Chain A
């Protein structure tokens, strides 16, 4: 006997398509999570246990010794002060770079989308073109420029470089976001007597927390993960965490302490990881918002 259809169509919970999708998703998730699992397990083992070579086995005796060592006493070349030096260096590089680059880029984006000055298109094209030039091409000229400015091998130098390299993508991001706001709002503010900065600070910035969050995420992860600029422009004393990590992992003398290396790597990756977890929703939203209107 068949049932006369009435009301909402019944949902099938286990139709083949759904099973397929979830299987693929689960396998993919496991595949990407496996290295993290190995890292965490290894970092919690003592060296004798690591030497057994069972990288997938959970630790028999859980120890946090490698974490403490990675943070506090691991040797990076000559100094044996652990990653903490690099961590604070990275923080010192990160905060000014993020603030300065976003402050400048947001004003750039605002000017490019609302104050269509003569040559705005050309300026924008050059800026975008800049983001396609490989970094390597610009390294040597930039070394000379920073040297002439007297900031080579200093915190100021590396902050300067990060600000410059953040400019194209951030300007694009802000320009596209501001371009999606109604132009009449801008006109209304002009009739109301607000000037260049008044419109920006009182009208647009309060409307734009999502895009600022996206910009912060992009810059924090980008600058934190940077190795190249840090190693070239920061100077030995100011090496960021990534460079310190490299020095720990690549130490050639003595025994390779895999557990310490793993702990150090997780510590270094912790900051961007945390950012993603805390702001995943904003991240996706912002990227989508930036991409829709070009």
Chain B
């Protein structure tokens, strides 16, 4: 069942179109991540869903109710903000109960709900403290608690972990995932961090310039990016892109910088492309094999190592392939020297081909 339905949503600030004809269906209990670079409109979209921004056109339904003109408090949502946004003069308890008091909920029930939320988030011992006396992680827990006590169907997270250091971020990320598994309500989560997106999401919506570029599972987005932007955005280090020409026919080939890649096993969508058209070939650094493994691949070539970046578990190697900068990832335990010649190869099945003009997947 649909939990949230967004129909033809547009938002303009004067002449500036921030969101354009956006359609999005989010299902019950789904964890949807809105991912994109800053300024892509993802936080704006979340604010529209929350009712904190008035939209210019379109409709928003939550649980089948048209909430387009409703106040945030009447939409059945809870929201968690990047800067925690705790009320500094109130204790943790006061922060958690503020919304409930405004809603005129009986005192006994408020106490009960606050206690329940505090126990889920393990912040019982902090209830009497002021936000200033809490660490960043504790503050964000309280902020999540404030959404929790509302006992709503939809949780909205606006970059909730961006203000935390790396270690805490990883910890809280798991906690949010646990929370979702436990409560199984709908969650919409805005972030610019692809690791958060890939680890948390049931589905990811990648946004750019106020439009959804691709809406799919993390697996599909990683393996079958719709277009070059999505392909380059997801994955770290990013995908290698090589410009070249497609030679069609029964045995398609991709020609780049004097090399030819056999694409006969590449699953062309939309029936492939015209002969001689220009295209990008995208290869993920982690899909490259080395040495003996490379020989068995549909494409292999010998390259010279230029720069080596050890990253612990992996080593990132920079080289030149077909006159293009090319990087690949290899086992961190293997030794590799600058200047060394290596045989590398990849399978076109795991690669992506994009049209040069439209940048869409072929």
Q: Which of B20-50 contact A (CB under 8 A)?
A: 47, 50
Q: How far is the CB of A213 from chain B (nearest CB, A)?
A: 16
**Is the CB of B79 closer than 8 A to any CB of chain A?**
yes
A187 close to B103 (CB less than 8 A): no
A185 close to B87 (CB less than 8 A): yes
B-side interface size class: 20 to 34
**Is the CB of A254 closer than 8 A to any CB of chain B?**
no
Bound complex: CA A193 to CA B88 (Å)? 18
Q: How far is the CB of B327 from chain A (nearest CB, A)?
A: 38
B89 close to A193 (CB less than 8 A): no
Known: A190-B52, A192-B146, A207-B89. A184 touches B83 (CB 8 A): yes
A198 close to B52 (CB less than 8 A): no
B83 close to A182 (CB less than 8 A): yes
B102 close to A192 (CB less than 8 A): yes
**Is the CB of B99 closer than 8 A to any CB of chain A?**
yes
B102 close to A188 (CB less than 8 A): no
Bound complex: CA A165 to CA B82 (Å)? 40
B77 close to A191 (CB less than 8 A): yes
**Is the CB of A203 closer than 8 A to any CB of chain B?**
yes
Please name all residues of chain A whose beta carbon is closer than 8 Å to the beta carbon of B88 when the two chains form the complex.
207
Q: Number of A residues contacting the other chain (C-beta, 8 Å)?
A: 16
Please name all residues of chain B whose beta carbon is closer than 8 Å to the beta carbon of A207 when the two chains form the complex.
88-89
Give per-residue flags for A175-219: 1 if the beta carbon is below 8 A from chain B beta carbons, else 0.
000000010110111111110001000110011000000000000
Please name all residues of chain A whose beta carbon is closer than 8 Å to the beta carbon of B83 when the two chains form the complex.
182, 184-185
Please name all residues of chain B whose beta carbon is closer than 8 Å to the beta carbon of A188 when the two chains form the complex.
79, 81, 85-87, 143, 146
Please name all residues of chain A whose beta carbon is closer than 8 Å to the beta carbon of B146 when the two chains form the complex.
188, 192
Bound complex: CA A198 to CA B99 (Å)? 11
Bound complex: CA A191 to CA B47 (Å)? 11
Q: Which of B139-166 contact A (CB under 8 A)?
A: 143, 146, 158
Q: How far is the CB of B305 from chain A (nearest CB, A)?
A: 46
Give per-residue flags for A50-76: 1 if the beta carbon is below 8 A from chain B beta carbons, else 0.
000000000000000000000000000
A193 close to B81 (CB less than 8 A): no
**Is the CB of B243 closer than 8 A to any CB of chain A?**
no
B98 close to A194 (CB less than 8 A): yes
Known: A182-B85, A206-B89. A191 touches B79 (CB 8 A): yes
Bound complex: CA A190 to CA B78 (Å)? 11
Bound complex: CA A188 to CA B85 (Å)? 6
Bound complex: CA A284 to CA B14 (Å)? 39
Known: A191-B72, A191-B78. A184 touches B102 (CB 8 A): no
B98 close to A192 (CB less than 8 A): yes
Please name all residues of chain B whose beta carbon is closer than 8 Å to the beta carbon of A187 when the two chains form the complex.
47, 50, 52, 72, 79, 81, 85
Bound complex: CA A206 to CA B84 (Å)? 18
B102 close to A191 (CB less than 8 A): no
Please name all residues of chain A whose beta carbon is closer than 8 Å to the beta carbon of B71 when the two chains form the complex.
190, 193
Please name all residues of chain A whose beta carbon is closer than 8 Å to the beta carbon of B47 when the two chains form the complex.
187
Closest to A186 in B: B85
Give per-residue flags for B67-101: 1 if the beta carbon is below 8 A from chain A beta carbons, else 0.
00001110001110111111111000000001100
Please name all residues of chain A whose beta carbon is closer than 8 Å to the beta carbon of B81 when the two chains form the complex.
184, 187-188
Bound complex: CA A51 to CA B320 (Å)? 100
Please name all residues of chain B whose beta carbon is closer than 8 Å to the beta carbon of A185 when the two chains form the complex.
83, 85, 87
Q: How far is the CB of B50 from chain A (nearest CB, A)?
A: 6
Known: A190-B52, A203-B87. 11 other contacts (CB 8 A): A184-B83, A188-B81, A188-B87, A190-B71, A191-B50, A191-B52, A191-B99, A192-B146, A193-B71, A193-B103, A207-B89
Binding site for A on B (CB under 8 A): 47, 50-52, 71-73, 77-79, 81-89, 98-99, 102-103, 143, 146, 158
Between-chain CB contacts (< 8 Å), 16 pairs: A184-B83, A184-B158, A185-B85, A187-B79, A187-B85, A188-B87, A190-B52, A191-B50, A191-B73, A192-B99, A192-B102, A192-B146, A193-B71, A193-B72, A193-B99, A207-B88
Listed from nearest, the 5 A-B pairs whose CB atoms lie closest are A192-B99, A193-B73, A193-B102, A184-B85, A188-B85
